[in-house]
Structure 1
Amino acid sequence: MLSCEKLLDLRWNKFQRNAGLLKRQLTWLFNEHLGKKGISGFTNVDYQSKVLSIELTMPQDASHDTIRDTRGLSGTWGERSFSTLCFALALHGMTEAPFRAMDEFDVFMDAVSRKISLDTLVDFAVAHGSQWIFITPHDISMVKPGDRVKKQQLAAPRD
């Protein structure tokens, strides 16, 4: 019986160590994607209270105040949409899937954020070798087709 308790303790310690490593990896990947727009961020996963919090520091904010609530981000320039996309990509980077789909991820983004987001998504998809389906009502002419990138644009719906 004693050996079972030791094995259980050993497993629990490994689980705790892995949980801490995954939290750090999530923040690292999140920051990697945010950095493409000059933003920095931090994710905090509290397993005990089952709470995930995200903090961002915007480059244009001279006070360098940390934004702790994504509702405080500008919807006009797509900051909230871009940071959400970066968080989703960080999670995607930690999981395996043969294909993924994103629907209207760029709806509230300005043209600059949309370009950065599309470039980030395409680079991520090609680097990870997975298939992605992006659904957007916006122009995707800036995405260049290639050996691993195929575009399919549907005609606009008729009213």
Structure 2
Amino acid sequence: MSFDHKNETLSITVQPGEGDKAALNDMKSLSGGERSFSTVCFILSLWSITESPFRCLDEFDVYMDMVNRRISMDMMLKMADSQRHRQFILLTPQSMSSLPTSRLIRILRMQDPERGQTTLNFQNRHQEQEDD
């Protein structure tokens, strides 16, 4: 990371390959999965130095392959285990069935949305309430 205090900017460069084989790249040149993984790493480093009762991420793994998703999940679970006084909320359309069973982990799965739906059924719900 490169801080420019005068212009109040932060530039992030990453090395997605192995050792000296890959040149340093800015975030714009990365694939979606590489960018998502780099962002998770950056957010985890911020979480280790900031105070907040909640840690939330939304769709952090959408562009990741399964290997990097597993690595990211493992890093987040390790951080959550070390910060038990905080609540971690991770929103993802991906399956969470591979998470370990624990009394500290709760998975809430929403129903899949209806595909091809053009209107919401608010009128029917209102009618059902009037019938009661």
| Equivalent residue for 2:68, pick from 106, 109, 113 | 113
Provide the C-alpha distance between the structure 2 equivalents of 1:154 and 1:145, rounded to a whole number of angstroms.
Answer: 19
AA of the residue aligned to 2:7: S
AA of the residue aligned to 1:51: T
Give the structure with the higher percent helix. Answer: 1
Deviation at 1:155, TM superposition (A): 2.1
AA of the residue aligned to 2:92: T
* Superposition misfits of 4+ residues, deviation over 4 angstroms: none
SS in 2 for 1:100: strand
1:59 alignment partner in structure 2: 17
Provide the C-alpha distance between the structure 2 equivalents of 1:123 and 1:58, rounded to a whole number of angstroms.
Answer: 22
Asked if 1 retains the 8 angstrom alpha-carbon contact of 2:16 and 2:34, the reply is no
TM-score scaled by length of structure 2: 0.78
Asked if 2 retains the 8 angstrom alpha-carbon contact of 1:145 and 1:151, the reply is no
Provide the C-alpha distance between the structure 2 equivalents of 1:117 and 1:142, rounded to a whole number of angstroms.
Answer: 13
Deviation at 1:59, TM superposition (A): 2.7
2:58 alignment partner in structure 1: 103
Q: Unmatched 5+ residue regions in structure 2?
A: 116-132
Deviation at 1:96, TM superposition (A): 0.9
2:42 alignment partner in structure 1: 87
TM-score scaled by length of structure 1: 0.66
Aligned residues: 114
| Equivalent residue for 1:156, pick from 112, 118, 124 | 112
Deviations 1:21-59 (A, max 9, x none): xxxxxxxxxxxxxxxxxxxxxx12221221101121223
Asked if 2 retains the 8 angstrom alpha-carbon contact of 1:105 and 1:136, the reply is yes
Q: Unmatched 5+ residue regions in structure 1?
A: 1-42
